Amino acid sequence: MSETDLIHHIRKLAERGQRPPIIQSIGDDCAIVRPPRNRDLVFTTDFVLQDRHFTLDTHSPAEIGHKALARSLSDLAAMGSEPLFCLVSLALPSSMADTFVPQFYKGLMGLAREHNVSLAGGDLASFPSVVADVMCSGTVVRGKAFLRSAAQPDDYIYVTGTLGQSALGLRLKTGAAWARHRRPTPRIEAALKLRRYGIRCAMDISDGLSLDLARLCTESGVSAGLVPAKIPIAPNATLDDALHGGEDYELLFTAPANKGIPRVIAGIPVTRIGHIMRQQSVLIKLDDKPLPQQGFDHFA
């Protein structure tokens, strides 16, 4: 297929899920979006890179498309926002285009329809390896977005779901943990329900609890204490997997003790794993011992 043929195919897929506030999408040089009143728009973008986030031997094109969108949707969840639309840029070897592109977008649009996300446009290019960049936008009530900088001393620290399953799956390359690694689930529904509890501070766990919690503490100017026995470790995973393994895409958030956070929200377990402390020389303590930040860092 030519580039025009591929774009026509993508456009037909996108039109099945189109919804307001998209005024104009694929077919022009830019998409036109009319934001809702009294809402803030939030934006994020994430790469998925061949041989870094996936390999062509272990991930199908549909799984790569799913994961590409899931990573950005997880960022929207971390802000407490409702997804609106995405823009997708995809580069790949021209010899793969006919088979890879339709399946990639099939996987991406399957997840998009689950969360009422419109595909509003993007770009296609020929390149020696597969690179995808997905930009997502969502809305949140004006001034109510979750922020990493909003944690306060004496807040409790919570996580959704279990931790370490993706790291376990990457190590074993089999079973339910491997399926979870290949097709992550963004916690959109849980985030939207958490808004009613007045949550102000959150992020998603994409690079490992130890590193992501350190980032949250740095932005808020606080420290944290964790209780290892409270950390919800996925079946057959280790504490190291839960602390330092990446790509769990669970929500990490804080809340005052009087908020009454439920133990289950949107069908997902919620666990209190520690508390926020006033800033100390040690950023994170695990059972009162310093916890090193050993999560995934592209440039470490």
Round to whole Å and give the CA distance between 268 and 279. Answer: 31
Q: Which pLDDT value is given to residue 207? A: 96
Domain end, chosen from 141, 171, 193, is at 141
pTM for this structure? Answer: 0.94
One domain for residues 112 and 165? no
Round to whole Å and give the CA distance between 79 and 178. Answer: 27
Round to whole Å and give the CA distance between 241 and 71. Answer: 19
Strands 39-49 and 250-255: unpaired
pLDDT tens for the 300 residues of the chain, in order: 777 788 777 877 777 666 667 787 788 889 898 888 899 999 999 999 999 999 999 999 999 999 999 999 999 999 999 999 999 999 999 999 999 999 999 999 999 999 999 999 999 999 999 999 999 999 999 999 999 999 999 999 999 999 999 999 999 999 999 999 999 999 999 999 999 999 999 999 999 999 999 999 999 999 999 999 999 999 999 999 999 999 999 999 999 999 999 999 999 999 999 999 999 989 999 999 999 999 888 777
One domain for residues 79 and 133? yes
Starting from the edge strand earliest in sequence, which strands make up the sheet with 39-49, in order?
A: 39-49, 131-141, 82-92, 118-126
Domain end, chosen from 122, 141, 160, is at 141
Domain end, chosen from 141, 161, 188, is at 141
One domain for residues 152 and 279? yes
Any domain includes 298:
no
Q: Which pLDDT value is given to residue 15? A: 72
Read off φ and ψ for residue 85, nearest 5 degrees: -150, 165
One domain for residues 38 and 131? yes
Domain span including residue 266: 148-290
Any domain includes 128:
yes
DSSP letter at 10? H
Q: Which pLDDT value is given to residue 239? A: 98
The DSSP string of 172-192 is H--HHHHHHHHS----HHHHH
One domain for residues 98 and 207? no
CATH code: domain of residue 29: 3.30.1330.10
One domain for residues 81 and 37? yes
Q: Which pLDDT value is given to residue 19? A: 63
Overall domain count for the chain: 2
CATH code: domain of residue 244: 3.90.650.10
Which single residue is written with the structure tokens 């204490």? 225
- Mark 64-81 as b/e (b = at least 16 C-beta within 10 Å): bbbbbbbbbbbbbbbbbb
One domain for residues 76 and 118? yes
Q: Which pLDDT value is given to residue 6? A: 81
pLDDT one-digit tens code per residue, 127-179: 999 999 999 999 999 999 999 999 999 999 999 999 999 999 999 999 999 99
Q: Which pLDDT value is given to residue 18? A: 62
